[in-house]
Amino acid sequence: MSKDANLALSYPVWSPDNRLLVPAGTPITEAIVEEVVQQGKKAAFPSRALLAHGSVRDDLLGFLREPPYDFIFAEHDPKRAEVFRLIGDLNLVLPVLEILDHFRAHDFHTYRHLLLVFALSTLLSVDLVPESKQRTKEPAGAGPTHDLGKICVPRTLLHKSVPLTRSERALLQHHTLAGHLLLAYYFGKHDHLAARIARDHHERLNGIGYPRGIQSLDPMVEIVVVCDVYDALVSSRPYRPVSFDNRTALEEITALAERGEVGWNVARALIACNRRGKPHYDELQPSTEKRGVPPAGNVYGATAKDGEDGSEAKGEGSNGGNE
């Protein structure tokens, strides 16, 4: 946590009911996070089962019928049943469910992405985090919340179809710390898994990520990092109307592992659940051959100069993506 000493909030964190949780400029120290936790505990939020909330179950089932998830979550795969058992046990506090409702109504990309990254991360955790079978609530306990902090980012920015300027990108990147503080507030625990995932899911094992540039990741965070990038690639996005085909997306994940940004085991586990016969990840040899072609018109991770409209965009690589 040594890099935390330099970590300060560039923008304020407001809860959706307009409480200023932490003002801009505040250094993020354990004491500050603990203050936020105590505020949340006083509120004593009620909780409800995620899958019983609104149309969440039907929405998730619908998303899992679309490729490539229809293959990954094949109907009779016992791991699909295990995932639904884990997810089915999950209760979330009402304000978090209401934020999901907000995304469903106003930012459907983010809503779908949250549910799919959650389902896929839970699936990979069954093999990669074996204790999930004993401590059933821990991996699934993260919830569909890794990008919850986007509630603190203006919707116009989330929907931009041209490259972001540096200042816009800084505001977008605020979703990591905002998510951490909001989830610490809602879950009443400064190191709740969901809060740590929200903060760390843009970190990379070789230290090029944000917000802290750390090189050591919790195993569940590492899984979410890979699932986050993968879902962003195989789904359509405002900044890239055509999604990557599955083969090209998996090649991109292999390339991340080759560059040391993510771990090989997680990359292998994702590739394994896309292979016929679904081999165990430690028996899988990923192909390092690159045959896929990324879609045209993709401005993922591109940056425009402040004051420009993005027409002279400059790419920054996978880590500068808009997720």
Question: What are the residues binding Fe ion (CB under 5 A)?
Answer: 147, 228, 323
DSSP state string for 138-204: HHHTT-S-TTGGGGGS-HHHHT--SPEEHHHHHHHHHHHHHHHHHHHHHHT-TT-HHHHHHHHTT--
Cβ 114 to Fe ion, closest distance in Å? 8
DSSP secondary structure letter of residue 27: B
Spatial strand order of the sheet with 314-315 comes to: 164-165, 302-304, 314-315
Q: Closer CB to Fe ion, residue 149 or residue 284? A: 149
Cβ 136 to Fe ion shortest distance, Å? 24
Question: Smaller CB distance to Fe ion: residue 147 or 261?
Answer: 147
For Fe ion, give the closer residue by CB, 50 or 284.
Answer: 50
User: Nearest distance from residue 179's CB to Fe ion, in Å?
Assistant: 8
Smallest separation (angstroms) from Fe ion to the CB of 145? 10
H or E segment at 48? strand 47-49
Is-cis flag, bond preceding 163, omega within 30? no
Nearer to Fe ion, 64 or 229 (CB): 229
Q: Which is nearer to Fe ion, 222 or 323 (CB)?
A: 323
Whichever of 267 and 284 has its CB closer to Fe ion, that residue is 267
Long-range contacts of 271-276 (CB under 8 A, 24+ apart): 273/72, 273/79, 273/123, 273/124, 274/68, 274/71, 274/72, 274/246, 274/250
Q: Do 181 and 36 meet the contact criterion of CB atoms below 8 Å apart?
A: yes
Contacts of 23 (CB under 8 A, 6+ apart): 9, 12
Alpha carbons 224 and 213: distance in angstroms, whole number:
17
The answer for residues whose C-beta is within 8 angstroms of residue 140's C-beta and 6 or more apart is 86, 87, 89, 90, 118, 122, 125, 132
> Smaller CB distance to Fe ion: residue 168 or 323?
323
CB of 110 to Fe ion, least distance (A): 8
Smallest distance, Fe ion to C-beta of residue 162, A = 19
**For the CA atoms of 215, 286, 247, 56, what is the dihedral angle to 10 degrees?**
-60
By beta-carbon proximity to Fe ion, the closer residue of 228 and 251 is 228
To Fe ion, the closest distance from the beta carbon of 178 in angstroms equals: 11
In the bound complex, what is the minimum distance in angstroms from residue 198's beta carbon to Fe ion? 8
Using CB atoms, what's the residue nearest to Fe ion?
323
